[in-house]
Structure 1
Amino acid sequence: MKLYDIRQRGFTLIELLIVVVIVGVIAAFAYPSYVEYGERTRRADAQGALMEFAAAMERHYASQNTYEGAATGGSDTGSPGIFPDEAPLESGNKFYDLTISAATGSSYTLRATPKSVQAGNGILELDSTGARRWDESGDGSFGAGENDWQ
C-alpha cells in the first residue's frame, strides 16, 4: 500500500458552512424568544413581589388601622418602610423599584417601576381593591386595554 493511496476523511468547507448557516438561522429565531421569556419572568417576579407587598400593607393596616405611614420615614407615599423597595426579593439583581404611589386611611396603590435591563417594559400597579394594571407603554397613563397583568 502506497502512502498517497490513503484517503483522508473529514469535513469539507462547504459542509462546515452549511452547518454554520443552520446554527445561525436557529439562533436568529431562538434569541428573541429567549429575551422575551426573560422579560416575562422578571415581570412575573415583580407581580409576586407586589402581592407580597399588598400583604405587608394589610398587616400594617391591621396594626395601625390605616394604610398611611407605611412609607419610609412614616410618610404616606414613596419608598416603602414596611417592605423591601426592589424586586425580585430573592435575587441580587434588581429589575423593579417598588413604591407606594398613593395611600389613604382606607386605600392604597402600589407600583413596580422597571429598571436596568427591564426598563421600558411597563409599569405594574396593584391597589387595595385587588385591581391589577400594567401600563405596557410605560408612560404612566394606564389607558384602555392596559388594566390586567399579562
Structure 2
Amino acid sequence: MNLNISPVKGFTLVELMVVVVIVAIFAAVAIPSYQATVRRGQAAQAQDQLQQIAMMLDKHKSRNFSYEGANVPTDLRVLPKGATGTAVKYNFVLVPGATGQTWVVTAESQDTRNFSFLMSSTGLRCKNKTWANINTTTMTCGAGHEEW
C-alpha cells in the first residue's frame, strides 16, 4: 500500500481571521486620519476663497469709492465652485456695512467638525468650529475661536 499524503495547501481560518483583524486596525487608524486631512484641505480652500473675495471687494471700492453695490460672484458663493446640495462644503456670504465703507464675509462649513470663517475689511480674520458663535454684527468669532 502506497500512501502519498500531499501537504495541504491553503490558509486556515485562524490565519484568515488574523489578517482580517490587522486590516481592520489599519482601517481604524487610516480612515479618520484621511478624513481629517480632507477637512484641513477644505478649510484651506475656504480661506483662499475668502481672500479672493476680499481682493474683488477692494477692486470694487477702488473703482466706486465704496463697497456699496458689491456682491460675491455666483461662482464664489459655494465651495467647491458650482457645487449644489450635499456636495457643498462651504457657503460664502457678504454682509456690507451700513455706510458702504466696511464689509464682513463669512464662510460657513457644512461639516460641524470643520472650521467656519469670518473675514472683515478692518483686518479681522478668525475661525470657529461652532458656527453659532460667529457674529457678523459685532464682528466676533466668540468663544473657542482662533485667528488665522
Q: TM-score range by the shorter chain?
A: 0.7 to 0.9
Deviation sequence 1:11-70 (CA, Å, 0-9, x none) = 111111001001111111111111111111111111110000001001111111101211
TM-score (norm 2): 0.79
Cα distance in structure 2, aligned partners of 1:66 and 1:135: 29
Tell me, yes or no, if structure 1 residue 105 matches structure 2 residue 100. Answer: yes
Q: Contact conserved, 2:112 with 2:130, CA < 8 A, in 1?
A: no
Cα separation, partners in 2 of 1:3 and 1:135, compared to 1, 3 Å: same
Give the fraction of aligned pairs with identical amino acids, expressed as a percent. Answer: 31
Tell me, yes or no, if structure 1 residue 56 matches structure 2 residue 56. Answer: yes
Structure 2 unaligned segments of length 5 or more: list them. Answer: 135-140
Look up the match of 1:133.
126
Q: Contact conserved, 1:70 with 1:82, CA < 8 A, in 2?
A: no
Cα separation, partners in 2 of 1:121 and 1:102, compared to 1, 3 Å: farther
Structure 1 unaligned segments of length 5 or more: list them. Answer: 72-79
Q: Contact conserved, 2:90 with 2:108, CA < 8 A, in 1?
A: yes
Look up the match of 1:22.
22
Cα distance in structure 1, aligned partners of 2:66 and 2:75: 16
Find the residue that maps to 1:113 and give its secondary structure.
Answer: strand
Cα distance in structure 2, aligned partners of 1:33 and 1:85: 28
Cα separation, partners in 2 of 1:8 and 1:55, compared to 1, 3 Å: same
Cα distance in structure 1, aligned partners of 2:67 and 2:75: 13
* Alignment: residue pair count: 138
**Offset of 1:89 from its aligned partner?**
3.2
Cα distance in structure 2, aligned partners of 1:82 and 1:102: 17
Which amino acid is 2:127 matched to?
A: W
TM-score (norm 1): 0.78
Cα distance in structure 1, aligned partners of 2:12 and 2:74: 65
**Offset of 1:130 from its aligned partner?**
2.8
